[in-house]
Homo-oligomer: A and B are copies of this chain.
């Protein structure tokens, strides 16, 4: 698969658990299939997958299930960043061995790192694998356009940057202007500003995986030049869910898992933590949104046809 081809909607998979909070591989298989059938262009395992809540063994398990179920139909990106280069290299090699098509890595977080250290960190990872790497830049680990260029110039495998600094559309625009010639720019923020990011030159986004047909519909409309339909799909399908996902603590995980559970994709909506459940009012609002989005089912059929 040509890595230059990576663009579009890359769903970040949730990690489904069984009633004992163990990774539920069968649900994960269904989740991969559901997203591939919905027409997404790639899959990811990252923070939205509770990746920091997984042991090293479980990381591998999730990676392998995703890769095996994807069967090369879409690329699978694994987040393999670590607090230090030694761990990031270890995780990156593991992911590459397990069949990942690409990696996503944020700058080191354990000790203060200047530009030279950040470059050395990415170089260590780039030298250890033969697959493309996304720089993951975040509010806590910002990467200026200039630094992104230097990383790209030093690291042949670094080909993309996923921008999560705030506010999202502005930061995506800045990144495209600063290093869009060297790196493909993906947006973040759960896809809430997907159209705005596309207008600024983003080539993809990485939303959650509970309504892939909606994101694919936005992408398709935008690609054929129909900005208005794209924006309407945002307001009709995506914002009601994404707003719910920000309106209570940990709601992001509860909301997307509960939608997937009610859609019959995963078996439980459990989240590791421990974490408080959704408050009753938000739960009620979620039910209402799911009810109103029953068009999902039709969309699923269409997307999977």
Which residues of chain A from 206 to 261 have any CB-CB distance to chain B below 8 Å in the complex?
235, 239, 243, 246-251, 253
A193 touches B281 (CB 8 A): no
B196 touches A111 (CB 8 A): no
CB of A120 closer than 8 Å to a CB of B? yes
- A123-144 toward B: CB 8 Å interface, digit per residue (1/0)? 0100000000000000000000
Interface bracket on A: 35 or more
CB of A113 closer than 8 Å to a CB of B? yes
Residues of B contacting A249 in the complex (Cβ-Cβ under 8 angstroms): 111-112, 167, 170
B248 touches A169 (CB 8 A): yes
Residues of B contacting A253 in the complex (Cβ-Cβ under 8 angstroms): 111
A173 touches B281 (CB 8 A): yes
B250 touches A111 (CB 8 A): yes
In Å, the complex CA distance between A56 and B55 comes to: 8
A239-B235, A275-B112 known; A87 and B167 CB under 8 Å? no
A280 CB, nearest partner CB in chain B, Å: 10
CB of A272 closer than 8 Å to a CB of B? yes
CB of A148 closer than 8 Å to a CB of B? no
A294 CB, nearest partner CB in chain B, Å: 16
Residues of B contacting A168 in the complex (Cβ-Cβ under 8 angstroms): 247
A63 CB, nearest partner CB in chain B, Å: 16
A170-B249, A170-B282, A235-B235 known; A108 and B273 CB under 8 Å? yes
Residues of B contacting A250 in the complex (Cβ-Cβ under 8 angstroms): 111-112
Residues of B contacting A87 in the complex (Cβ-Cβ under 8 angstroms): 53-55
A290 CB, nearest partner CB in chain B, Å: 15
B53 touches A247 (CB 8 A): no
A196 touches B108 (CB 8 A): no
A85 touches B170 (CB 8 A): no
Q: Name the residue on B nearest A240 (C-beta).
A: B235
B56 touches A272 (CB 8 A): no
- A6-23 toward B: CB 8 Å interface, digit per residue (1/0)? 000000000000000100
A167 touches B274 (CB 8 A): no
Q: Name the residue on B nearest A85 (C-beta).
A: B274
B111 touches A247 (CB 8 A): no
21 residue pairs of the A-B complex, CB under 8 angstroms, read A52-B110, A53-B87, A84-B272, A108-B273, A110-B272, A111-B253, A112-B250, A117-B273, A117-B274, A117-B275, A124-B274, A167-B247, A167-B248, A167-B249, A167-B251, A170-B247, A170-B248, A170-B282, A193-B243, A199-B285, A239-B239
Question: Measuring CB to CB, which residues of chain A are less than 8 angstroms from any residue of chain B?
Answer: 21, 50, 52-56, 83-87, 90, 108, 110-114, 116-117, 120-121, 124, 167-170, 173, 193, 196, 199-200, 235, 239, 243, 246-251, 253, 271-276, 279, 281-282, 285
Instruction: Known A-B contacts: A86-B272, A170-B282, A239-B239. Give 8 more (CB < 8 A).
Output: A50-B110, A52-B110, A55-B87, A85-B273, A111-B271, A120-B274, A170-B251, A196-B285
